[in-house]
Amino acid sequence: MTSSQSAKVHGLLEQPIALSQFINEAPIGILVVDPELRVVLMNRALEALTGFVSSEVSGVPCCFVLRTNLCLDGCPVKNLTPQGGSICLESNILNKNREKIPVRVTTSALIGEKGRIVGYTKSVEDMRYLQKADGAGGRFSFGNLIGNSPEMQRVLRLLPAIAQTDSSVLITGQTGTGKDFVAEAIHNASQRSRSPFVKVNCGALPESLLESELFGHQKGAFTGAIENKPGRFRLAHNGTLYLTEIGDLPLNLQVKLLSFLDDQVIYPLGGSRGIHVDVRVIAATHRDLEGMTRQGRFREDLLFRLNVIRLQLPPLSQRGQDINMLIDHFLHHFNARFRKKIKSLSPRARKILLEYSFPGNVRELRNIIEFAVNLSDGDTIRSEHLSTYLKTPIPVQVEAETNPPIEKKEIVLETSHNSLNLDWAHVEREMIMDALVKARGNRAKAAKLLGLGRSTLWRKMKNYLIVP
């Protein structure tokens, strides 16, 4: 593959030029395959779209790299002839990150000097931005974001203006408030929308891997570096690099990021020269970066560089009637997805949701509705279709019991208001304690009350340090 990467174009200009130089700067994915449809070369845009690096898939049949829905039975190559022409079809690909992406694939034959087909090119255009543009619009939405509360209206008004600038953006907000959606919406509405949007979770990789993932490495830079790796910055060239969980970025990489934000040059591991890349950086975190700066865990100068535009997303609990709007939105979404015909929520179910604090914000609300839609078999979501943790007190149904004092009754766990904020482990511990008190210390009866086996109860008691 090294040879295809270093292939030259002769006779076009005064001196031969590298083919990769041509195709790597194209904003759409380009794939060159041989007559047997094996990968010869792919450009950087296609690497970003598919998640594969050109050199690792050299010689592999292209259907395993592009993975379009046409690959299994309708490969357009069969219809191309040496007379030329091209075929353009809408399709979708499944990339290495397990995302299904709508694309437009244009396939053309490459005709050699003797008039024979010597290969094919496939141009792959990401259609997500077009679909999002079609679906976008309206006073209450931007990209995948919706909201009518004053807090969200303020954010929605700002977003189009932020998208038109090219400055760094720092998005802050609690977990589940939609930071990822905001970042993608800004990219999709910006002039960089036809170039890659590359997301990196700074907290998901160990420090040593993260550096190579972000900045790339040269072959031989360290043990295991058997080939050159471009890194996410280069993959995002002309597009947007979204650094999520920026608060988890190790200090030494904060210095490298700061250096990039200063001069737009990256230095791959083991490389001797810097590479200029044109990338807009959007960062997000749920952490208090100012607090981390005071503790010396986050560089103040990096915070200033990223903080050119600051967007604070409101938690769901501060979004008032947006909860109703989001409930209906997710209901509609999951109805379509699971082919259900649920029309609404019962007043009691809606009341439970409106009174809940949503520590997990919109993501939690979405999961609650998904769960309820799955459980509901009629046309209404009732309170029993909601997760039990939303409702207090927490009822535990008791099986038939021979002991009269506790026969066929429902244990109602009297949870205090404070315990609502605790996690399941705390609630479960309280339930076990409650059952043990009700069974007067008899573990077999307590286990029956809880609907657990004796050994399970014993194990849980040991876990929660409940001394028998």
Partner 1 sequence: MKRLLIPLKGDEIAPRFDLAPEVMIVTVTDDGEIAEQRLMVMAHASPESLCELILKEKVDVTVCCGIEEEFFQYLTWKKVRVIDSVVGSCERIVDCFRTGTLTPGTILR
Which residues are at the interface with partner 1 (CB under 8 A)?
Answer: 56-57, 59-61, 63-64, 67, 69, 71-72, 94-100
Rounded Cα–Cα distance for residues 124 and 119 (Å): 16
Nearest residue (CB) to partner 1, 100 versus 462: 100
Nearest residue (CB) to partner 1, 92 versus 148: 92
Rounded Cα–Cα distance for residues 58 and 38 (Å): 7
Q: How far is the CB of 94 from partner 1 (least distance, A)?
A: 4
Instruction: Provide the 3-class DSSP secondary structure of residue 6.
Output: coil
Nearest residue (CB) to partner 1, 56 versus 180: 56
Nearest residue (CB) to partner 1, 74 versus 135: 74
**Residues in the chain, how many?**
468
Copy the structure tokens of residue 54: 């050109």
The DSSP element (H or E) to which 199 belongs, if any, is strand 197-201
Q: Are 198 and 232 in contact (CB under 8 A)?
A: yes
Q: How far is CA 112 from the centre of its chain?
A: 43
Q: How far is the CB of 73 from partner 1 (least distance, A)?
A: 9
Q: How far is the CB of 254 from partner 1 (least distance, A)?
A: 30
Q: How far is the CB of 220 from partner 1 (least distance, A)?
A: 21
Nearest residue (CB) to partner 1, 60 versus 258: 60
Burial 418-437 (b: 16+ CB within 10 A, else e): eeeeeeeeebbbbbbebbbe
Rounded Cα–Cα distance for residues 202 and 289 (Å): 14
Q: How far is the CB of 60 from partner 1 (least distance, A)?
A: 6
Please choose, from the candidates 267, 198, 276, the residue with its C-alpha nearest in 3D space to the C-alpha of residue 239: 198
Q: How far is the CB of 78 from partner 1 (least distance, A)?
A: 15
What's the one-letter identity of residue 392?
Answer: T
For tokens 């997500």, the residue is 128
The DSSP element (H or E) to which 124 belongs, if any, is strand 117-126
Q: How far is the CB of 93 from partner 1 (least distance, A)?
A: 8
Alpha-helical segments (H) within 38-149: 44-50, 63-66, 128-135
Q: How far is the CB of 36 from partner 1 (least distance, A)?
A: 13
Nearest residue (CB) to partner 1, 114 versus 424: 424
Nearest residue (CB) to partner 1, 61 versus 320: 61
Question: What dihedral angle (degrees, nearest 10) is formed by the CA atoms of 366, 370, 375, 376?
Answer: 80
For tokens 């280069």, the residue is 234
Q: Are 325 and 183 in contact (CB under 8 A)?
A: no
Nearest residue (CB) to partner 1, 71 versus 372: 71
